[in-house]
Structure 1
Amino acid sequence: MQTSRRVFFNPTSVPCLRASRHQSRGFFNAGPLRRVGLKKSTEARSGRWRGIRRESTQIGEDETGHIASASNEGILFFDNLFPLKLHWILRLPWRNDRSLSDLLWRFNNQKISAYEPMSLLKRAIPDSLPIKVTEILPRLKDGGAFVKFQYPNGLTAKEVEGLVTGYLKENPITPWFSPFRQIKARLVVGKPWLEDLYRFPSRRMKIEFVPTSPGKEAAELSQETLYSLFRRYGKIAEIISQPSDSKILPKFAYLDFARIGQAIMAKNCMHGFKVLEEAGGGPLGTQLRLSFEQKAKAHWIRDWIFSHPRVVIPAVAAVVATITVAVFDPIRTFFIKAHIDHAWHLKDNKIYRWFKNQATDIFTFSHHRKSEEVILSTIWADRKHFIDQLQTWLMETADTFIVIQGPRGSGKKEFILDQGLKGRKNTLLIDCKPIQEARGDTATISAAAASVGYRPVFSWMNSISSLIDLAAQGTIGVKSGFSETLDAQLGKIWQNTATALKQVALDSRSKDDKDHSLSDDDWLEAHPEFRPVVVIDNFLHKNEESSVVYDKISEWAASLTTANIAHVIFLTNDISYSKSLSKALPDRVFRQISLGDITPEVAKQFVINHLDAEPNDVTPDDNKITDRQRRRDLDELDECIDVLGGRLTDLEFLARRLKTGQTPKRAVAEIIEQSASEIMKMYLLTVDKGERKWSPEQAWYLVKSLAENDSLRYNEVLLSNTFASSLSASASNGESVLEALSAAELISIKTYKGRPKSIKAGKPVYQAAFKLLTGDKVLKSRLDLAILTELTKIETKNIDKYETELNALGSLPKQPREVGPRVQFLLNKLAASQSKVEGWEKEMGALKKVLMDEY
């Protein structure tokens, strides 16, 4: 049972909004607290505010969510009393019923107390209206309040609505927080649902058509009926009926108002309204159940973006690329310049070099450095004309490449960096080996960037962008452009490097130069001595795997030389480098220096210098004795040098063995044995051979032939059956096989006027290793047997071919005279092949006997 009590209505009497003893105010009154009770004049003037008020809250009487009204009572809804945009406070988990009232109390003050919600509500109801307000229920999230009133006999609720709305039109009231919207009032004709759920107003309403009582059937109202019911509350933008084939119950329709305030007024006034039969509600009537519905396409910009991926994704890719170029390219160019001119290299720092010079007499590393210089001095003296030639080329203007070619171990890198470019600051070394051996595009990009100092580099973005591009291609059917090929990304790295190289070259330009007025290109052409030097090491390393890296490098190098930006020096082991470089500079003649093995005299002196470099023993007179002075077997060194050759790596290996106490002959014998084991494992054995481009039979043919002769004719090898008719699919092309074996350094191919001329062992020591391998009777028998077996198969195929053609000719009904020479030719071929097979069979029998008898 509800408790009733008569009170003077004032804002502090509203439940949950009473002022506390510390003089706080509810949201209806933000001004200073007034004493309870009204003055007599006020009571006489506003006696309608005195009445019976039941205990109720924002969610209805006894928190039921509904408002009960008697026959002589009505309910008006006033909107725009509270700031509608503050309904988000209701979402906060720490909110209580006084949160918004406290916020408005802090915001308002005495100066604007006339604009507080309660004052606005009092002003909205004319004093002359003969009604008695009995209850006020604020709706914070709807921005308004329900006002229950009693009206006397002879007056209807509809008339009261008309009087209030007419009064508001004549005396418009505008709240302080919404200066362009006036307070409006409408009569509640339905049964409003006062819920405090997290459902907030929107311009779209969902109107459900439900029966007036359970078990009955409701009618689906037409758009015309809905328009006639709701148009009074404001401009209707759209009415969307439920699809005719929809099975969703209850039936519903969407109604969009032009403004959110109009939708709030309609929802609070029409919820629960019963549409009678004469109004189109069906025989039993239809009740309207209203709720706010968030529009699915509220964010039209976002929806448009997601609806047009063919336009948006390429545009975003272009914007990202533009930002990347504008922001990161200058940073990357700066780091590349620092890498080229060695600005951050510690060894080039003056302070570091001073401390190093002061410590040369204390630490032993200086002695080792001097020893290395003494050891190599003999070689550099022998190659002095090459060093002078290189330095002369670097002072000339020539838009072509400088190529330093030589086998591994010939000292190409040391020749360039320690001698040819000694004392030159602006040098850039690019090692192709880590770039080519990198696995995957990401690792390749990282290796290329590290070689030139290109940073920051986001190589990991390559994988992510590839996934985005793949997803976009599956969605829109075309690539988005986010991901880039390895070719394009390497091109960016080289392009930034070229920019940095040009800036480094132009940094040497001074305003005091007599040719300062020249353009940048003309000045670079006139001053080749100021151009930086780019050294590309290990060019064509593992060239058989992929040529993308080498193609980009050669094209970039060609652009540097033709634009007079830098001198480019290639260091390569491959004798066929001209095929790759000619693609980039087809109309140029390359400047070439071939570094082969050193002469026997220089080789002997090189080994002796190694032995003299570090003293081992000390005499009683404190005289240091070197290995050379201590040894008595160095007379064998001449013979050993002839066998070992002039390869620097092999000579260093020999010197280290001599330091351990071995005799020269024993040391060379072990080097030969080790080389023979490497040849057998890398070229002859079929176990774990990987992706070889040659067959073991072809490698053995060369080993056996070179063991008998120091050099072989190139074309003679190609015409042999082992190379011309190999049964291995990967080794069917004889020239490719020889190039692969040359790249693997089993052999070396000598040229004459650009064409291959002869074939020699890859290293001088290999010549002795070949003889050692052919001296192994069991190994020779096994590999010879493999060659004869392959040759027998080749001739057997030829015999089958001859017999097939003879059968075809013999099947002719008549034997023309012209067929006779062809038949005789085939018979001679058949006899020759058969003779070869028979001879090989005898040899194979002897070889099998050796294999069965020997270990």
Structure 2
Amino acid sequence: MIPAHMLSRQATRPGHRVLRFTTHHSTCLLLPVSHGRITRAWSTTTTTDSTASTGSHKASGHIETAPHESLLFFNNLFPLKLSSVLIWRPWTSEDLLQRFEKKSLHFIDPIRLVKRAIDTHDQVPIRVTEIIPRLKDGGAFVKFTYPEDMSAAQVESKLSKLLHNNPIKPWFNPFGRVQTGLVEGVPWLEDLYRLPRSRIRVEFVPAKHDESPAELSQETLYSIFRKYGKISEITSQPTDSKVLPRFAYVDFVLVRDAIMARNCMHGFVLREQGSKNATRLRLSYEQRVKAHHIWAWFTSHPRIMIPLVAALIAAFTVAVFDPIREFFVKAHVQKYFEFTNSRLYKWFKSQTSDILAFRRRKTEDAGLNALFTHRKDLIDSIQTGLLESVDTFTVVHGPRGSGKKDLILDQVLKERSDVLLIDCKPVVEARGEAGTIRRLAFEVGYRPVFSWSNNISSLVDLAVQSTTGVKANFSENLESQVVKILQTTASALKQVGLSERKKEDKDADLSEDAYLEAHPERRPVIVIDHFLHKSEDKGVIYDRIADWAAALVQSNIAHVIFLTDDASYSKPLQRSLPDRVFRSVTLGDLSPDVAKKFVISQLQTDTQFAHDGQQQDQDDTEPDRSLKEKKGSKDHPTDPELDPHLLSELDTCIAALGGRLTDLQVLARRLKIGQSPQKAVQEIIDSTASDILRMFLLSNKTSSAEKSGEGQGGRKYTTEQAWYLISALASSPHSSIPYNSVLLSPTFASSLSMSSSAAPGWSPETALEALANAELITIKSHNGMPTEIKAGKPVYQAAFQKLASDAQIKARMDLLVLTELAKIETKNLEKVEQELVMLQGLMARRPGDVSERVEYLLEKMKGGQKKLGVLEEEIGRVKGALVKC
């Protein structure tokens, strides 16, 4: 309601009255007036019929009133923050009116507040006819009737005075109070998601469609809205703005005051003095934008905001996740969560040491123990190196199946509990960068790891760069993520080395680095298995692992042992430690005597186990005999003996099989199931020959791979080259061929499929190195220079001889080699013919200068043609032999 000192009445034309709001600079007239009675805008602008039901406002959004009936808006009845929860309760006007007419209401019932404000005061003789809740505004509209000798303004004035003298405080807001105001406009009962704000946007719209509204001044707006609460600012629309309709902002200090003003004055019609047309006020809540806000300033500058967000994320990750990851790495190294390290498992194992399952495990390890006794000096030297403070690597090199991993883990490090094993094979064979990161994290116990987040970060980087032109650098490449994992692992390993340090130690005053340097036995051991496995695919992984291992060794944090099959391991390691000499250990094949003892030990332990079982059964049936008598009797020998015929065949079989540990284990398993040595070895040779045939000789050619310079099927060697080595080694009496003779052979030196024109950077040495990496051959060196070539495994020599003795395979492969040689001679003849054609013109002018060259080319053509004829004859013979096969 407008204050009384600002309201005056003035007679105009008969039958009309006006309300004049007087300010210092203007006068506002309230419209319309008819029949000597003030007719409010909200009663004349409803879109429904006056005889409609009281619930018609649900369809039109407006509230209807009859004569001597008006509206009040009660504020602060509902909590604003809980409007989304209260909306699920059915708040109907009929239900509220019924509850209003009850004598007693619940303490937290909002209708109780309305009843206290109206019913308890006899000075206000009104009757409530309808209550319309407004949950998101925290109040309700109350429709009431008043007597003819009073006006709605007088009713509102008395109620406001009574509420001011006797404040009613809601239960959810003890510092606030219920307020009421007369609705002077056209309230719009919308259910849109427009939450109350302290800023109100006042739009000036025409009262009639054919009129243009007038823009109200700040003084007029202040006089209208000040009664609803303290106003902090009134902002008019800029004069040069083209936005229609014209508007102004009214900022209240409290949100509740803005709610009261919006619900009471929406749709209010007025006319300023000097203006011909009336203006209707359309009010709505507006989100206030603070000028020069720090957050708005940052968000409007992506060159500052994006790096800041990246830095905050990185800082949060370091502060929160890095300590967790270090804990899990430390737990992985010291095996906190492994069941085999628990006291319960150790007790159970000690109580059941004689059970069959545990004894069976011992028999499987007995053969390896017998083998390791022959490598006792090697084991002692590695263990001694772990007690020294020399900052260097230990590299254990040997072919696959030579027992490197079993030697280190089961013998050298069997008494240590602080061992970290990193297997490079699953890491480099993982698919994609996310898989590589996930596998590397699993190997070191690094968790939690969000390998998928880098893909999302890459998309964010692309979106930010495409929209702002600024690189966000949220994503990390593979190398940086590998370095991050390894750095966290290094921090955890340092904590492991210092975990047994105590304050009462004699050297407790030493620094951490000095303590680790003085106690090399306290440093954890890192075993890196399958180093340089598929090094051509993931070379960056091995480079970072080598650099990381070098840093650990130089910082005295840990000992590092590399296990590798690749003979070129010195190249990446020398880049990491250029001024150090590696402690290198080479494991070769076993000698025939040691290999025989290994197989016999495997068979003896199995026979001993079966013999002990039979003896135990007899002990159960003869309890009256003492154990001592049974051990000394002839029927129960203490040491079971093997079949002499089997032992006599082992020498011949092991000579053919060789001393590779994995092949000897396969032989021992075949002998245990009852096969004879000769049959077992023959089946092993047949299986090996079949694998060589499938992997090296019968693999399909891929034209795309050849065009890309990788030969057949993505390889760096040809089938003809592989067969040349197989046939040459099979026919060699010493089971070896000279290295240089292979390089000078036409199959390697003049290969058309792998020539430099078709494959840039290829050379015969590259092909031999690829075949050695595939373990088809082994290259022996002397003083750093390759001298001879042997089979990749001892059993391969026998497999080569079997393949070379097969007429069909030999004819087919020889045909490929002869065809390749014929193509080489044909290409050489074509080059000679082209040069002769070029020299033909010079012969007519200067025959003496080119005669020698022509004679040389003719002799070369003659010799080449002769070789080609011999090759064609040989090709015909081989084809005939192939047809007969």
- Is 2:367 aligned against 1:337? no
1: CA distance, partners of 2:338 / 2:145? 87
Partner residue of 1:237? Answer: 234
Residue of structure 2 in register with 1:708 after alignment: 731
CA distance in 2, matches of 1:792, 1:81: 103
Q: Deviations over 1:668-707 (max 9, x none)?
A: 2332222211111111112488533321111111111111
Map Cα deviations across residues 594-628 of structure 1 (whole Å, 9 max, x no partner): 10011111112222223322226889953369886
Amino acid in the other structure paired with 1:443: G
Aligned CA distance change for structure 1 residues 185 and 850 (closer, same or farther; 3 Å): closer
Aligned counterparts, 1:140-155, within 5 A: 141=134
After superposition, the C-alpha distances for 1:762-810 in whole angstroms (9 at most, x for unaligned) are 0111112111211122211211111222233233333334444444454
Unaligned runs of 5+ in 1: 1-53, 126-131
TM norm structure 2: 0.74
**Residue 464 of structure 1, CA deviation:** 4.4
Distance 1:243 1:793, change over 3 A: farther
Matched, 1:847 2:869: no
The 1-side partners of 2:452 and 2:224 are apart by 62
Q: Does 1:599 align with 2:591?
A: yes
Match of 2:38 in 1: none
**Among residues 379, 389, 398, which one is paired with 1:406 in the alignment?**
398
Aligned 1:314-713 pairs, distance under 5 A: 314-349=307-342, 352-360=345-353, 362-478=354-470, 480-615=472-607, 621-623=634-636, 629-687=642-700, 690-709=713-732, 710-713=735-738
Kept in 1, the 8 Å contact 2:201–2:247? The answer is yes
Query: Cα gap change, 1:279/1:172 in structure 2, threshold over 3 Å: closer, same or farther?
Result: farther
Pair 1:756-2:753 in alignment = no
Report if the CA contact (8 A) 1:204-1:257 is conserved.
yes
Rounded to whole Å, the distance in 2 between the matches of 1:113 and 1:256 is 32
State the Cα deviation string for residues 232-272 of structure 1 (Å, max 9, x = none).
Answer: 435673455999999xxxx7444422226468547644626
Q: Deviations over 1:309-350 (max 9, x none)?
A: 655454444333333332332233223223323344444455
The residue aligned with 1:771 is 801
AA paired with 1:772? Answer: K
Which residue pairs with 2:269 in the alignment?
Answer: 273
Per-residue CA distance 1:260-304 (angstroms, 9 max, x = gap)? 6468547644626376997253xxxx6737353554969989977
Cα separation, 2, equivalents of 1:666 and 1:90? 87
Amino acid at match of 1:637: L
Aligned match of 1:720: 745
Aligned mates of 1:735, 1:265 — CA distance in 2: 91
Whole-angstrom CA distance in 2 between matches of 1:157 and 1:531:
91
In structure 2, the CA distance between the partners of 1:348 and 1:185, relative to structure 1 (3 Å rule), is closer
AA partner of residue 845 (structure 1): G
**Aligned counterparts of 1:228 and 1:757: Cα–Cα separation in 2:** 106
SS at match of 1:279: coil
Distance 2:381 2:289 in 1: 76
Q: Secondary structure at the match of 2:642?
A: helix
Question: In terms of mean alpha carbon deviation, does 87-96 or 377-386 score higher?
Answer: 87-96
| 8 Å contact kept, 1:55–1:62 | no
Could you list the per-position Cα deviations for residues 459-485 of structure 1 after superposition, in whole angstroms to 9, with x for gaps in the alignment? 444444445445445544455444333
Counterpart of 2:326, as a letter, is T
Mapping for residues 196-275 of structure 1, pairs under 5 Å: 197=191, 202=197, 203-205=199-201, 207=203, 209=205, 212=208, 217-221=209-213, 223=215, 232-234=224-226, 237-239=234-236, 252-259=245-252, 261=257, 264-265=260-261, 268-269=264-265, 271=267, 273=269
Structure 2: runs of 5 or more not aligned: 1-50, 616-632, 702-711
- Equivalent-residue separation in structure 2 for 1:291 and 1:381 (angstroms): 96
- Partners of 2:774 and 2:686 in 1: how far apart? 19
Report the equivalent of 2:818. Answer: 788
Matches within 5 A, 1:64-143: 65-66=62-63, 85=80, 88=83, 91-97=87-93, 106=107, 117-118=117-118, 141=134
Q: Contact 2:74 / 2:114 at 8 angstroms: preserved in 1? A: no
**TM-score scaled by structure 1?**
0.77
* Inter-partner Cα distance in structure 2 for 1:364 and 1:114: 87
Structure 2 CA distance for partners of 1:81 and 1:468, relative to 1, 3 Å = closer
Instruction: Encode CA deviations 1:7-36: one digit per residue, 9 max, x unaligned.
Output: xxxxxxxxxxxxxxxxxxxxxxxxxxxxxx
How far apart, CA to CA, are the structure 2 residues paired with 1:105 and 1:354? 68
Query: Structure 2 vs 1, CA of residues 373 and 233 (structure 1 numbering), >3 Å: closer, same or farther?
Result: closer
Q: Any conservation in 1 of the 2:527–2:560 contact (CA below 8 Å)?
A: yes
One-letter amino acid of the structure 1 residue matched with residue 882 of structure 2: L
- Measured after TM superposition, the shift of residue 824 of structure 1 is 5.4
Cα distance in structure 2, aligned partners of 1:179 and 1:349: 62
Q: 1:819 to 1:157 in 2, by over 3 A?
A: farther
User: CA–CA distance in 2 between the matches of 1:372 and 1:86?
Assistant: 72
Contact 2:262 2:283 in 1 (8 A): no
Do the aligned residues in 2 keep the contact of 1:56 with 1:62 (CA within 8 Å)? no
Aligned length: 769
Once the two structures are TM-superposed, the CA of residue 570 in structure 1 deviates from its matched residue by 0.8
2-structure distance, mates of 1:267, 1:327: 49
CA contact (8 A) 2:73 2:264 kept: no
Deviations 1:341-397 (A, max 9, x none): 33444444555445434433x323454455445433442232222112212211212
Residue 437 of structure 1: how far off its partner (Å): 2.2
Does the C-alpha gap of structure 1 residues 568 and 86 become closer, same or farther in structure 2, counting only changes over 3 Å?
Answer: closer
- Counterpart Cα distance in 2 of 1:271 and 1:333: 66
Distance in structure 2 (CA, Å) of the matches to 1:487 and 1:800: 50
| Residues 84 and 785 of structure 1, relative CA distance in 2, 3 Å threshold | closer
Which of residues 738, 743, 747 is equivalent to 2:768? 738
Q: Is the 8 A contact 1:58 1:137 kept in 2?
A: no
The residue identity in structure 2 corresponding to 1:549 is I
Q: 1:519, CA displacement in angstroms?
A: 1.7
Cα separation, 2, equivalents of 1:61 and 1:320: 50
Aligned counterparts of 1:84 and 1:379: Cα–Cα separation in 2: 83
Deviates more, 1:718-727 or 1:618-627: 618-627
Task: Note if contact 1:174-1:180 (Cα within 8 Å) is conserved in structure 2.
Answer: no
Query: 1:507 is aligned with what amino acid?
Result: S
Letter of the 1:106 counterpart: F
* Alpha-carbon offset, residue 228 of structure 1: 5.6
Structure 2 SS opposite 1:770: helix
1:772/1:67 CA distance change after superposition, 3 Å = closer
Alignment partner of 1:669: what SS?
A: helix
What letter matches 2:507 in structure 1? D
Alignment partners' CA distance in 2, 1:823 and 1:636 = 66
Q: Say if 1:172 and 1:183, in contact at 8 Å, map to a contact too.
A: no
Q: Which amino acid aligns with 1:714?
A: Y
CA distance in 2, matches of 1:86, 1:785: 89
Cα pair distance change 1:173/1:58, threshold 3 Å: farther
Moved more, 497-506 or 649-658: 649-658
Shift in Å at residue 821 of structure 1? Answer: 5.9
